[in-house]
Amino acid sequence: MAEEKSRLQSLFEAGHFVVTGEIGPPMGADTGHVYKAAEELKGYVDAANVTDNQTSILRMSSIGGSFLAQQKGVEAVMQMTCRDRNRIAIQSDLLGAWAMGLKNLLLLSGDHQSFGNDKQAKNVYDVDSVQVIKMISDMQNEGRFSNGKKVKGVPSFFIGTSANPFADPAELQLIRLKKKIRAGAKFVQTQAIYDVDKFERWMEKVRAWGLHKEAYIEAGVMVNKSVRSIEATQMVPGMDIPDNLIERMRNASDPKEEGKNIVLEIISRIEKIEGVAGVHIMAIGWEEIVSEIVRRAGFSPRPALN
Amino acid sequence: MIIASQKPLDEIRDTLKAYDKVLIAACGTCVTVCLSGGEKEALELKALLGLEGDKAYRVVTPERQCDSEFLEAFDEDVKWADVVLSLACGVGVQYMAERYEGKPVIPGLNTSFMGTNRDAGYWTEMCQGCGNCVLEKTGGICPVARCSKSHFNGPCGGSANGVCEVDPSIECAWQLIYDRLKSLNQLDRLYDTIPPRDWRTSRDGGPRKIRRPDVAIEEV
């Protein structure tokens, strides 16, 4: 069993400001889609999330996509939601994922199936996101499944989770984040940030609670290339986009350029916030832009590992 | 109580096609209160179905279809009919079918949930009968039945302005729990992690039953 830490974990621990990207697997078994996205991100991000049927749209699995991304030299952050799998499936799939060389794991509740094309599907939620983090963390620390049986070949995922600084009720969202970290989450990726003032206030609370010392907080940002894209983003649950940014996109003569400008402005502010340990850039379907964003934000080249 | 709603008339008509004598069996308890399968609804249904004029109808209203002591009085009516159109919940339909061997019993309602009446013509789900109540931990608001994701440890990131990400007409259960615990000065409870459930007490352990020796009658 590989004991070597993931690149992502090593960089966080070495105190680097980490940059991650995101790959959305295809709606099919096409390997080329993931390969292409991975090639575009390679060298510009330290790792890339591979989403687990995000917004409940049926796609290639995160495990499969993560494996493909790693074949192209991009370390994957595999995502796993509680929406589609019970505790048996979650643990089983994670054993397979670890065996195939995946090392970073982002555990989430998952968007409800009513958002996707399979609204008729049964929703699982055998465990919630706090419970699943504790379950996997305990499995790794104690070498036992949640059923108490001994694990032969114990995984050692670098476990992360998500947080939404803009969701309600604010205090309870923080309590839940605290519970996720207590359960074993070592890094946290936030929902895409558009309202930096609000995010700053959230980070003040995170610092007051000391959560930034217990887990690495990565600020999420999204790159929008069109008015349609930012309007669609606004419709995503838990998303909070100030009207002036949508207006800026609407009034822009070159919306693509404006989208890049907006995200660069956001990044330049959030990287200065105390307790932010990295940035998570989401540009699904526009992966080729990530290299430019990373360069223009001054994050290139990415650090090498010793 | 159990909340149900009537099936579409065309669907009911379709299921009755093969029969001439129809016993419409209302139920005098839950479905009477939720205005879906009581005597009034049964008579209305008889009037609507009767417009076609091709069948004979009778209406009966046992106090509860899920209890044999209330059914005996209607044995003769059942014998008369070719088919029973039960306006009870799924329990009543099944119980009737079990009692009257060889008699088709057809559901006239869709049994929806255990819930309450919020307003005129408005009912909401409150309990899922999961068999292991946690209401003492959550301020009397059920996260299993009322959170779209049955979360036990707080809201997902889709809770905004008190509303669930699934539908703006759904209140976020965790917002309600938070508000309620705050008013009870019990917010500290939210820091406890509720461990994964043993779902055997819910439907996941197979059909459930309760046997109580303390109230069982011993055979002599």
**pLDDT tens track for A175-199:** 999 999 999 999 999 999 999 999 9
Domain-embedded: residue A303: no
Asked if residue A242 is part of any domain, the answer here is: yes
Q: Is residue B143 part of a domain?
A: yes
Mean pLDDT, chain B, rounded, equals 96
H or E segment and range at residue B18: none
- Do residues B77 and B42 lie in contact, with contact meaning Cβ atoms separated by under 8 Å? no
Give the CATH number, domain containing residue A210: 3.20.20.220
Which residues sit opposite B109 in a β-bridge? Answer: B6
Same domain, residue pair B192 and B102: no
Same domain, B96 and B144: no
Q: What is the mean pLDDT of residues A232-237?
A: 85
Q: Give the CATH number for residue B39.
A: 3.40.50.2300
- pLDDT bracket for residue B220 (50, 70, 90): low
Say how far residue A22 (Cα) sits from the centre of its chain: 7
Instruction: Please check whether residues B98 and B137 belong to one and the same domain.
Output: no
pLDDT grade for A285, boundaries at 50, 70 and 90: confident
Q: Which domain holds residue A187?
A: 7-296
Mutate to test the interface with A, among B128, B146, B153, B175 (most CBs of A within 10 A): B153
Burial of A28 (0-12, 13-18, 19+ CB in 10 A): exposed
Domain count, chain A: 1
Domain extent, residue B76, equals: 2-112
Interval A274-286 mean pLDDT:
95
In a domain, A301, yes or no: no
Note the pLDDT of residue A1.
45
Nearest CA among A34, A31, A10, A32 for reference residue A21: A34
User: What pLDDT shows up at residue A3?
Assistant: 64
Q: Is residue A48 part of a domain?
A: yes
Looking at the fold, whether B42 and B75 belong to one and the same domain comes out as yes
| Confidence grade of residue A12 (pLDDT, cut at 50, 70, 90) | very high
Domain co-membership, B95 together with B174: no
Is A194 a member of any domain? yes
- Using CA coordinates, name the residue in chain B closest to A176: B154
Q: Do residues B48 and B148 both lie within one domain?
A: no
User: With contacts defined as CB-CB under 8 Å, which chain A residues touch B155?
Assistant: 167-169, 172-173, 176
Q: What is the pTM of this model?
A: 0.95
The per-residue pLDDT of chain A, averaged, comes to 96
Provide the number of structural domains found in chain B: 2
Examine residue A1 and state whether it is found in any structural domain, yes or no.
no
Contact (CB<8Å) B155/A169: yes
ipTM of the assembly?
A: 0.95
B121 is a domain residue: no
- B184 within a domain of the structure (yes/no): yes
Judged against a pLDDT cut of 70, whether residue B113 lies above it is answered with yes
pLDDT digits (tens, 9 = 90+) for A77-120: 999 999 999 999 999 999 999 999 999 999 999 999 999 999 99
Do the beta carbons of residue B34 and residue B3 sit within 8 Å?
yes
Asked, for residue A24, whether it belongs to a domain, the answer is yes
The rounded distance, in Å, linking the Cα atoms of A67 and A64 is 5
Q: What is the pLDDT of residue A75?
A: 98
**CA gap A65, B28 in Å, rounded:** 57
Lowest-confidence segment of A208-222, A225-239, B121-135 by average pLDDT: A225-239
Same domain, B58 and B136: no
Residue B155's closest chain A neighbor by CA? A173
Instruction: Please report the sign of the dihedral spanned by the C-alpha atoms of residue A30, residue A36, residue A37, residue A41.
Output: positive
pLDDT over 90 percentage in chain B:
95
Contact (CB<8Å) A175/B190: yes
How many C-beta neighbours within 10 Å does residue B211 have? 6
**B92 plus B167 within the same structural domain:** no
Contact A179 B150 (CB under 8 A): no
User: Chain A: nearest CA to B214, how far in angstroms?
Assistant: 33
Assigned domain for A305 exists: no
What confidence tens digit (pLDDT) does each residue in B116-134 have?
999 999 999 999 999 999 9
Token readout for B128 is: 């899922």
A85 close to B (CB below 8 A): no
**What percent of chain A lies above the pLDDT cut of 90?**
94
Does the residue B138 lie in any domain? yes
